[in-house]
Structure 1
Amino acid sequence: MKKIALFLLILSGIITSCKKFLDTKPTDFIVPEQYYNTEQQLNEALAGVYSSLTTVATYGLQQNFYLVGTTDESYYKLSTTSPHPLYYNITPAEPRTSNTWNDLYKGIDRANYLLANINKPAMDEQRRNAIKGEALFLRAYMYYLLVTQWGDVPLLLTPTVDGRQVNNPATPAKDIYNQVYNDMKTAKDLVNDYTTNGTPVHVSKTAVEAMLARVCLKMAGEPLLDVAKYTDARAWADSVIQSHVHSLNPDYKQIFINENADQFDNAYKEVLWEIDFYGNNIGALQAGGRWSIYMGVRNTDKDIGYSYGYQGATGYLYKLYSAGDLRRDWAISPYNFLGNSGTTKVLVVPTDAYSRNEGKWRREYETVLPRNTEFSPTNYPIIRYSDVLLMFAEADNEINGPTARSFDALNMVRRRGFGLSVTTPAVSVSVVKDITLSATGNTGYLKTVATIPVTLSGGGGTGASATASVSTTTGKVTAIAISNPGLGYTSIPTVTVGTPWQPNTSYPAGTQVFNGNNLYTVATTGSSTTTAPTQTSGTSDPNLTGIGFTYAGAKATGTASIATATVDLNGLSQAAFRTAIRDERARELCFEGIRKFDLIRWGIFIPQMKMIEADMNANLPASLKYAVREYTNVSEKDKLFPIPTLELSLNSALQQNPLWK
C-alpha cells in the first residue's frame, strides 16, 4: 500500500499536454514518454492502477456503500430528503455516481497506459507478464463495475492521448461482458499464484478464477440471460476448489477482525482478493479508507473508533438466520454504545432487529493508533472462498439439479456458520434460542452499570452464555441477549441473572449480589461471613454478615427456550436448492457489496425491495419510519444508474439510459 500511495504523487504529474504546450519541454512533471522505462516504474504504475480502487468514489466509500447499500439486507440509517443513491431518488446530475464513473475510467486509463508501455523496459519476462496480467485484470474488473451499474458504456482499450477525442459511443453491454471475460481469462495465465504473491492484495490465479465465476454467473442471469455461462461459472469455481490453496477460516468473525487489524490470513487464505487500505491518514501517507466508519456501530468516541452507524440491518435478514447461527450476531451487531459515546456496550432488545447496525467490521479491533475519526486502515474483501463454494453450488444446481458436490459446498459454509467442523456432516444442532424476562421482580439495579453477567446451567448442553442489559433510567434489566447459543441442549437450562452471594468472599463497595430472590448492594468494602443477608429492607448487621448488604430490590429472573436448527441441507429439489443458495448468500456475504448485484441477476430485485417495504411499514419502530422511503422510491430504472449529465455534455456520441430519459 505504501507503493500505491507513493505512486499517487508521481501519477498526478502524468498528464497529456494541449497543443499550445507541445513546443514546451516540461520540467516539473512526468510525461508518459519519460516513464515506464524500468521495472520499478512499471510496478509503480501498477500500484497506481490498484489505487484507483481505493478512492472515496470507489472502495474508499461509495462503491461498496453509497451505490449498493440499500437492499433486502440493509438500509440507509439516516433521515434525509436530499437526493441520494441509497434513497433511490437521484437525478443524472448526482455527484456520487458521477464521481465513481469518473474514477473507474481514470483507473482504466492508467491500466491502458501501463499495457501500452509494458514492453519498454528490459526485464525478466515472468515478472513482466505478472504486471501485465494484473493490469489486464484490473481494467477488466473496472469495466465489470461499469457495465453492471450503467449498462452500455464506452469501451476504451487504448490510452487517452488526445483530450479532443471525447465522442465515444457506448458499446453494447454484451460486448463489454465478453471483453471482461476474455481479458480476465488471459490475465489468469499471466498473474502469479497466491503463494508467490504472499497476500490477497495483488490478484492471483485463483482470485482471477473466482472473479471469472462471478462474471459468468452475472452473464447467465439478467440482463443477458446467457444460461450457457453456468457451465463456465461452475468450471472456474471448481478450479479454485481443486487448487486446494484456499479454505474456510473456522472462525467466521476472525475474517473481519483480521481486516480491521490489517492482517492477512495466510493460514487459511479465505480472502482471495481484498482492497488494501493503510494507516490512519495522520502524516504524509494518506491511504486510509472511509467505508468502515460509515458502516459500523454508531459511536462518537474517537478512542474506541468513531462511526456514523449509517448501515442498518433489515428484519428480513435478521430472521433468515436460524437459532445457533453464530454469523447473525457478528454480522448484525447485538449492541449499541451507551450514549453513542464510549466503550460501554448496551444490548439491543433482540426482537428489534431494525435498531441494529451492520457489525462485521468493528473499529475497536483496529491496531493503528490513534484512530482517525474519518479514515481507517481496515481492508475490504472483494471475494472470499465461501463465495466460491456458494457460486459452485449455484452453478452446479442450475446445470444438473442439486448433486452431492453442490450439497457439500453449501453445507461446508453452513457448518462453519454454526461453529462446527466444515468437513464433518452435521444434521442439526440443539441450542439456547433466547431468554425471556419474567414479568415480576426486577428492581434496584445500579443505573451506572450497563450490563451484568448471566449464567446458564444444566439442560444437557455446553457453551451457552448470555448478558443482561440494565436501563440507565429505571434501574431494571431490559433485555437478556444470547452471546453464545451453545450446543447439545436437550432440556431447558436454568438462567441465573447477576452474581450470587458467596460466604467468606471479599467484596468491593458498590458490588451487587443476590441471595434467593433478593438483590443487595455492598455498603462498604470487606469480606462476607457464612451468614447470608436475607432482609427485605435496610442494611444487614455487619456483625452477622461481615459487611453491610443493603437491600436494593427484587432480582430479575428469566426463562430460556431451546431450539433445534437444521445444519446440513440434503434432499432438496432444484427450486428449493436455488432458494437455499440465495438465502445462504445473504447470511454469509451480507454487507459485502454483492447483494444488489445478486438480486438483479436473479431477476428479483424489485419484488424483494417491495417485500421489504411492506415489512418495514408493519414492523419499523416509529423513530426509523423514514427508511421506508428507500423502498417506496425504488423502481425498474434503478437496476442501472443514469449516465452522468457532465459525461453526456462532453460526449455527444453517448445517450442516456432509456428509463432515465
Structure 2
Amino acid sequence: MDYQTLKLRLIGFSTYSILLMLISCSEDFLDIVAEDRIDKTSFYESDKELVNAINGVYAKQRIVFNHYGTYYLQDSRSDNAALNQQDQPERVQSDVFQELTNNQEMLISWSQLYDVINHANAIIANTKNVEGDQELVNRIVGEAKFLRAYTYFQIVTTWGDVPLRLLPSEDFDNVTVPTSSSSEVYNQIRIDLNEAISVLPENYIGGKGFEIGRVTKYAALTLLGKLELQIGNNEAAETALRQVIGRYRLLSDYADIYAAGNNNTAESIFEISFEPAGNTGFFLPNYFIPIDETQRLGIPAGGNADQILQFYPTQSLIDEFEINDLRADATFGIAVADNDPYVSKFKDLGAASQGHDVNIAVLRYADVLLSLSEAIGESSEGYELINQVRRRGFGFDPEMVNESVDINFTTPGSFNDKLLHERRVEFAFEHQRWSDLKRLLNPEEVVQLMKEQLFQQEGKDFEISTTDLLFPIPLLEIQISDGAVTQNPGY
C-alpha cells in the first residue's frame, strides 16, 4: 500500500467517524451505548453480552431513520416530495438529479448504513464460543442477519452494485472490499433472510431480551417477498408472502397506524423504534412541520422556521388522493398561516424536546397485501387484495365488498397503474415510492415521469437519464478503496 492510498484511508475513516459521531445517539430495547468508531472486535462471552450487542444494532438502525438523508435518497427523489431549491445546494441536489459524487449528505447516509452492517457483522462473526442459552444465541444471530439484510436492501435499491461486506472491520487492512454486482448482493440478502427465518420466533412475550418489536420470522418472510418482487421473481415472492397472510390485520382507522404512542400494532410487522422517554424520540417531524403550525396545534417541540419547508409534499401527490380517501388527512396538512402543505403523518401533538413518540412501520400488513397482489398479477384475487387496502383507506370494513370504492378489471388504467396508485397513497413518505417506480415502470418511463414532475414543481426542464436512477457511489469510498470500488455509469 503506497503512502497516498494509506493517507486517503486514514482521512476516509476519520471522516466516517466524525460523521457518525455527529449523528449518533443511544437508547434501550434498546439500552446500549452506541459505538461511534470502527472497533477492534472481541469475541462475545455470554448470551447477555449478545443481547446488548444486538440492541446496539437496532440503535444504529434508528440513527439511519432519524436523519433526513433517508428522505433525500428516497421520497424526495421520487414524485412524492420536493426539497426547497433555495436551501443549501448540497442538501437539495438529489431532488433534481444534480448530486455530485462528493455530496456529503449522501456520504452520511452511506456511512450510517454501512455502520449498521458492520455492527451486525460483528455479531454474526463472533458467536461460536458464547455461553448461555444457545437458542437465544441463535435467535440473536438471526436478528443480526435480518438487520444486515434489510440494510443491504436499502443500499442495493439505492446504489446498485456496491461493496458486499460480510465480516466486521477490525482495522484498516481488512476494510477495503471490492464492488459486488447487485445480483450478488440480492443473493446474499436472500441467504441471510432464509437463515433468519429458520431461527426467528413468530412473536415475543416481553421482558429483557424478548421485547415486542424485535425482528420476527414474519418480518423476514415479508422482506423476502419484497426482495423477490424487486428482482422480478414473482412466484418466489408469492410463496414467501402467503405465509404472512392472516398473521396480522389492517387497523380499522388508517390514522391509527402513526398515532402517537400507538406502536407495534396488529398491522405492524417491523418498526423502527423511537422512545422520547429515553431521549431517542423521532425528531424529523419537527423538520416537516412549519413552526407557526406547531404553535397553532400546541406542539411544544417547536418546528421548522423556514418560510418554505426544506421538505414538503408535491402537488402531484396531493392530487393523487381521491375524494373521500381518509388517508389524505392522515398524510399531509395545510398550514393555516400560509396555506402551504406539509407532512403531518408522523406528528405527535404532545412532542417536546425529546422528540415525537412515533415509530416508523417499515414493514406492515398493507404492504403484504399489495405485494402479494403484485406477485399474483391481474386477477380476481389480486384485485381483492388491493380492495382490502382501499376499503380501509375510505373508512370501510376491509373484508366487506363495497362497490363505491372497489376496483376491478373494468376500472380504467393498467393493473400496474392501479397498483402504483394504491401504493402511492397508502405508503406516502414511508420510503417506498422510489423503489416502486423503478420496479413497476421501465427506466424510460421513470425518467419521463420525473421530468414532468420537476417541470411542474420548478417550472423548468432538468436533464435526467436512465443512469440517474441509481445514486453515485460516494467519491470517498472509491478513493480509499484504491480502485477496488467502482463508480456507477454516468457519473
Normalising TM by the smaller chain, what interval?
0.7 to 0.9
CA distance in 2, matches of 1:202, 1:628: 46
**Distance verdict in 2 for CA 1:195–1:422, change over 3 Å:** farther
> What residue identity is the alignment partner of 2:282?
G
> What residue identity is the alignment partner of 2:289?
G
**1:32 is matched with which residue: 30, 39, 42?**
42
Matched-pair contact (CA < 8 Å) for 1:194–1:204: yes
**2:68 is matched with which residue: 62, 72, 80?**
62
> What residue identity is the alignment partner of 1:605?
V
Q: Secondary structure at the match of 1:8?
A: coil
Matched-pair contact (CA < 8 Å) for 2:455–2:462: no
Per-residue CA distance 1:19-55 (angstroms, 9 max, x = gap): xxxxxxxxxxxx614xx21111101110111122122
Residue 388 of structure 2 aligns with which residue? 412
CA distance in 1, matches of 2:147, 2:128: 18
Residue 141 of structure 2 aligns with which residue? 132
Q: Does 1:74 align with 2:81?
A: yes
Residue 39 of structure 2 aligns with which residue? 15
Per-residue CA distance 1:53-74 (angstroms, 9 max, x = gap): 122xx21123531221222222
The correspondence of residues 360-399 of structure 1 with structure 2, limited to 5 A, is 360-364=345-349, 366=350, 370-372=352-354, 375-397=355-377
CA distance in 1, matches of 2:134, 2:128: 9
Q: Does 1:319 align with 2:319?
A: yes
Q: Does 1:591 align with 2:415?
A: no
Residue 248 of structure 1 aligns with which residue? 250
Matched-pair contact (CA < 8 Å) for 2:293–2:335: no
The correspondence of residues 257-406 of structure 1 with structure 2, limited to 5 A, is 257=259, 261-266=260-265, 269-279=266-276, 285-299=278-292, 301=294, 304=299, 305-308=301-304, 309-333=309-333, 335-338=334-337, 348=339, 355-364=340-349, 366=350, 370-372=352-354, 375-397=355-377, 402-406=378-382
Distance apart, 1:200 and its partner CA: 6.0
Cα RMSD, aligned residues only? 2.5
Per-residue CA distance 1:618-645 (angstroms, 9 max, x = gap): xxxxxxxxx456x725443331121112
Q: Secondary structure at the match of 1:168?
A: coil
> What residue identity is the alignment partner of 1:245?
R
Per-residue CA distance 1:597-619 (angstroms, 9 max, x = gap): 11112223212212213434xxx
The correspondence of residues 606-625 of structure 1 with structure 2, limited to 5 A, is 606-616=447-457
The correspondence of residues 470-509 of structure 1 with structure 2, limited to 5 A, is none
From the CA coordinates, give the structure whose radius of gyration is larger: 1
Q: Secondary structure at the match of 1:48?
A: helix
**Distance verdict in 2 for CA 1:155–1:187, change over 3 Å:** same
> What residue identity is the alignment partner of 2:302?
Y
Matched-pair contact (CA < 8 Å) for 2:138–2:199: yes
- Any stretches of 5+ residues in structure 1 without a counterpart? 17-30, 221-228, 340-347, 349-354, 429-566, 617-626
Residue 55 of structure 2 aligns with which residue? 47
CA distance in 1, matches of 2:289, 2:196: 35
Per-residue CA distance 1:416-447 (angstroms, 9 max, x = gap): 1110111111101xxxxxxxxxxxxxxxxxxx
Matched-pair contact (CA < 8 Å) for 2:169–2:175: no
Residue 118 of structure 1 aligns with which residue? 127
Distance apart, 1:569 and its partner CA: 0.9
CA distance in 2, matches of 1:129, 1:81: 46
Residue 450 of structure 1 aligns with which residue? none
Q: Secondary structure at the match of 2:345?
A: coil
Per-residue CA distance 1:336-383 (angstroms, 9 max, x = gap): 1447xxxxxxxx4xxxxxx3122212231x4x5x445xx434221211
> What residue identity is the alignment partner of 1:409?
L
Matched-pair contact (CA < 8 Å) for 1:277–1:378: yes
> What residue identity is the alignment partner of 2:239?
A
> What residue identity is the alignment partner of 1:255?
I
More strand per residue: 1 or 2? 1
Matched-pair contact (CA < 8 Å) for 1:61–1:289: no
Distance apart, 1:323 and its partner CA: 1.5
**1:655 is matched with which residue: 463, 476, 486?**
486
> What residue identity is the alignment partner of 2:487?
Q
Distance apart, 1:571 and its partner CA: 2.7
Matched-pair contact (CA < 8 Å) for 2:313–2:332: yes
Matched-pair contact (CA < 8 Å) for 2:113–2:155: yes
Residue 219 of structure 2 aligns with which residue? 207
Q: Secondary structure at the match of 2:395?
A: coil
Matched-pair contact (CA < 8 Å) for 1:256–1:360: yes
Distance apart, 1:196 and its partner CA: 4.1
**Distance verdict in 2 for CA 1:363–1:311, change over 3 Å:** farther
More helix per residue: 1 or 2? 2
> What residue identity is the alignment partner of 1:170?
T
CA distance in 1, matches of 2:452, 2:263: 39
**Distance verdict in 2 for CA 1:404–1:300, change over 3 Å:** closer
Distance apart, 1:573 and its partner CA: 8.3
**2:239 is matched with which residue: 235, 248, 265?**
235
Residue 632 of structure 1 aligns with which residue? 462
CA distance in 1, matches of 2:264, 2:29: 21
Distance apart, 1:288 and its partner CA: 2.9
- Any stretches of 5+ residues in structure 2 without a counterpart? 1-25
Question: TM-score, with normalisation over the residues of structure 2?
Answer: 0.85
Residue 168 of structure 1 aligns with which residue? 177
**Distance verdict in 2 for CA 1:130–1:322, change over 3 Å:** same
Distance apart, 1:301 and its partner CA: 4.9
Matched-pair contact (CA < 8 Å) for 2:27–2:279: no
Distance apart, 1:87 and its partner CA: 3.7
**Distance verdict in 2 for CA 1:332–1:163, change over 3 Å:** same
Residue 186 of structure 1 aligns with which residue? 195
Residue 3 of structure 1 aligns with which residue? 28
Paired positions, count: 449
CA distance in 2, matches of 1:605, 1:411: 26
Q: Secondary structure at the match of 2:486?
A: coil
CA distance in 2, matches of 1:5, 1:579: 41
CA distance in 1, matches of 2:81, 2:463: 15
Per-residue CA distance 1:143-183 (angstroms, 9 max, x = gap): 11121111111112122233223432101111111111121
Q: Secondary structure at the match of 1:312?
A: strand
**Distance verdict in 2 for CA 1:61–1:379, change over 3 Å:** same
Question: Which is bigger in relative contact order (C-alpha 8 A, separation at least 6)?
Answer: 2
Matched-pair contact (CA < 8 Å) for 2:285–2:344: no
> What residue identity is the alignment partner of 1:102?
S
Matched-pair contact (CA < 8 Å) for 1:147–1:173: yes
CA distance in 2, matches of 1:13, 1:601: 36
